[in-house]
């Protein structure tokens, strides 16, 4: 790790260690090598630096909306983290190609299938872009849930520490047997993935995926990955 990145990551870890109580014990479940799509919920801004820092020293990247680079400081930070600019609302093939290249190089790719942050911390309906990544990269997928960051701003104003919890589920892979996918099937696949995320979250955060009785596993199966 270069000195600048080391200093930035050290500052982030120290700062959030003071203003938050971070439970990152589940991070040890994440494999130390090999391509991996880590998908998670999106509740605010602090989970991005926190997850990036606590996943070190694994090489990782992720998509970020291209508007992020309109802010000089955020753009510099996201360049430091190796984030991939994404044009939302369209099929950004350049961003998809770069993500697949990173996975082929053995990196972790972080993605939030909801597409936009949930202000109350509840899961929203996911978009199926993650299915395209999994199909073209053949990388396994791993659900990572976190909660608590939706309370960060309020807690900071009250000089109160925020409990930030990270939980990691079981890795899965797609099982499609060569079938062609239409829009409905892609949505079913991402919904199956999101139920795998919901099950490791407290009930009050499951939102759109609260009814676990609706969960199916027609197109995904759990696998074992050495850590």
pLDDT of residue 14 exceeding 80, the answer is: yes
Give the model's pLDDT for residue 52: 86
C-alpha closest to that of 16 among 54, 42, 43: 54
Mean local confidence (pLDDT), 157-171: 96
Give the model's pLDDT for residue 71: 92
Give the model's pLDDT for residue 45: 74
Place of tokens 């009050």: 204
Using pLDDT thresholds of 50, 70 and 90, give the confidence band for residue 44: confident
**Alpha helix (H) ranges present in 105-163?**
129-137, 152-157
Q: pTM, whole model, 2 decimals? A: 0.92
Q: Is the peptide bond before 137 cis (omega within 30 degrees of 0)?
A: no
Architecture of the 3-222 domain? 3-Layer(aba) Sandwich (3.40)
Percent of the chain whose predicted confidence (pLDDT) is above 70: 100
Using pLDDT thresholds of 50, 70 and 90, give the confidence band for residue 32: confident
Place of tokens 């309020």: 154
């Amino acid at each position: 790790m270069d000195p600048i990145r080391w200093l930035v990551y050290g500052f982030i870890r120290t700062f959030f260690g003071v203003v938050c109580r971070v439970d990152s014990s589940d991070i040890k479940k994440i494999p130390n090598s090999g391509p991996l799509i880590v998908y998670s919920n999106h509740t605010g801004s602090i989970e991005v630096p926190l997850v990036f820092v606590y996943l070190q020293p694994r090489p990782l990247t992720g998509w970020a909306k291209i508007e992020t680079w309109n802010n000089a400081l955020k753009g510099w930070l996201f360049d430091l983290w190796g984030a991939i600019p994404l044009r939302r609302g369209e099929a950004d093939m350049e961003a998809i190609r770069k993500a697949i290249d990173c996975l082929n190089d053995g990196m972790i790719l972080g993605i939030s299938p909801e597409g936009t942050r949930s202000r109350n911390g509840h899961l929203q309906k996911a978009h199926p872009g993650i299915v395209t990544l999994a199909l073209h990269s053949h990388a396994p997928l791993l659900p990572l849930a976190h909660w608590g960051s939706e309370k960060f701003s309020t807690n900071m104003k009250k000089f109160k520490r925020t409990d930030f919890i990270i939980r990691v589920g079981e890795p899965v892979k797609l099982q499609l047997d060569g079938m062609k996918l239409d829009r409905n099937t892609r949505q079913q696949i991402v919904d199956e993935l999101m139920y795998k995320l919901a099950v490791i979250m407290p009930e009050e955060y499951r939102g759109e995926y609260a009814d676990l009785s609706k969960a199916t596993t027609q197109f995904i199966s759990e696998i074992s990955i050495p850590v």
